[in-house]
Amino acid sequence: MYSQMLTIRFFEEKVFELYGQNLVPGTIHLYAGEEAVAVGVCANLRRDDYITSTHRGHGHCIAKGAQLDKTMAEILGRKTGYCKVKGGSMHIADFSIGMLGATAVVGAGIPIAAGAGLSIKLKGTDQVAACFFGDGASNQGTFHEGINLAAVWHLPVVFVCENNLYAMGTRQSSVMLVENVADRASSYGIPGVTVDGNDVLAVYEAAHVAVERARRGEGPTLLECKTYRLKGHSRYDPAAYRPKDEVEAWLKKDAIARFQERLLEKSILNDAEVRRMVQQAKNEVEKATKFALESPFPEAREAVHDVYAEEESAQRR
């Protein structure tokens, strides 16, 4: 979990750097600061379990086992990317690892995860679907519809709210009168749990209970992880709407630094091992970046590839 969090952090720092060099088409929403959520949840998932993701989805992909090189290539608009550039930063999918897709439509992953849960139930397997979404998404209609349906049908879904206190520049307390998103779980008759989302072990343990409950066929859980993004909402948003003392307090709670300290304190890692893991994560990101930058852009005619049915298969139908 430590090395995965490092990889996500360095990956996002690299994406930010590349964005500054005008190498990333479109926009970016960085996951830096929120790594413990994706990593702590996905550490409980099997390869054949499903996840749905958001516009802030690079970290979810990496934590679920996506290849760094194809992820970076997709973000940089190269034809070797996961979706051959049909997705870009906000719509990466890899069905082979159960990554059902990220989406730019806030809250749209919630009913999709409920649908994945229904498919699991109909197939009779013990898979689980985990659904990542933000505090802002929890005010969408899809939140109510998706969670209510999953609750009444006891679907194997873990709804993971990444509460980073803001939806773009809108503070959560100005659009919600309950303190915790997880408090809303009682209206669906399911467990609601709030944890420190910058503590990877707290996330891991709470997700473990929720995932196992879902696997046993006992239904969904709403797991809220309180966290904070290191940067603004997207691109160069300077996030001037965030009070300075609030930013400073959260920087002190950085998930990676805290977990590293804990691992050193308990002698699970020593300084040399930490240095080696940091270097290894940086190297992996560099390798993926090199692969992406050396990959060609798609040709214009490829814009319609994988969009329309081939004539032959259309005739067969």
Ligand X SMILES: Cc1ncc(C[n+]2csc(CCOP(=O)(O)OP(=O)(O)O)c2C)c(N)n1
CB of 174 to ligand X, least distance (A): 13
Task: Evaluate whether 116 touches 157 at the Cβ level (below 8 Å).
Answer: yes
DSSP strand pairing (166-167 vs 170-171): antiparallel
Rounded CA-CA distance 72/253 in Å is 28
Q: Which of 104, 201, 209, 274 binds ligand X (CB under 6 A)?
A: 104
- The residues pairing with 161 across neighbouring beta strands, listed in sequence order, are 133, 224
From 100-108, 187-195, 212-220, 241-249, give the range in contact with ligand X by CB under 6 A: 100-108
> Interface mask (CB under 6 A) for ligand X, residues 143-172, using x and -?
-------------------x-x-xxx----
DSSP letter for each residue of 46-60? -TTSEEE--TT-HHH
Closest CA to 51 of 158, 182, 201: 158
Q: With binding defined as CB under 6 A, does residue 136 bind ligand X? A: yes
Pick the closer one to ligand X by CB: 14 or 56: 56
Residue 137 interacts, among ligand X, Mg ion, none and using kind-specific CB cut-offs from 5 to 8 Å, with ligand X
CB of 54 to Mg ion, least distance (A): 9
Q: Is 152 helix (H, G, I), strand (E, B) or coil?
A: helix
Q: Which of 53, 54, 71, 164 binds Mg ion (CB under 5 A)?
A: 164
CB of 184 to Mg ion, least distance (A): 15
Pick the closer one to ligand X by CB: 168 or 309: 168
Q: With binding defined as CB under 6 A, does residue 309 bind ligand X? A: no
Rounded to 5 degrees, what are φ and ψ at 134? -95, 175
Q: Which of 135, 199, 224, 254 binds Mg ion (CB under 5 A)?
A: 135
Count the helix, strand and coil residues of the chain and give each as a percent rounded to the nearest 5. Answer: 50, 10, 40
Q: With binding defined as CB under 6 A, does residue 106 bind ligand X? A: yes
Q: With binding defined as CB under 6 A, does residue 56 bind ligand X? A: yes
Q: With binding defined as CB under 5 A, does residue 227 bind Mg ion? A: no
Task: Evaluate whether 29 touches 55 at the Cβ level (below 8 Å).
Answer: yes
> Interface mask (CB under 5 A) for Mg ion, residues 165-184, using x and -?
--x-----------------
Task: Evaluate whether 3 touches 62 at the Cβ level (below 8 Å).
Answer: no
**Which residues, in sequence order, are CB contacts of 141 under 8 Å at separation 6+?**
107
Q: Which of 57, 88, 134, 192 binds Mg ion (CB under 5 A)?
A: 134
Q: Which residues bind ligand X (CB under 6 A)?
A: 55-56, 104-106, 134-137, 162, 164, 166-168, 233
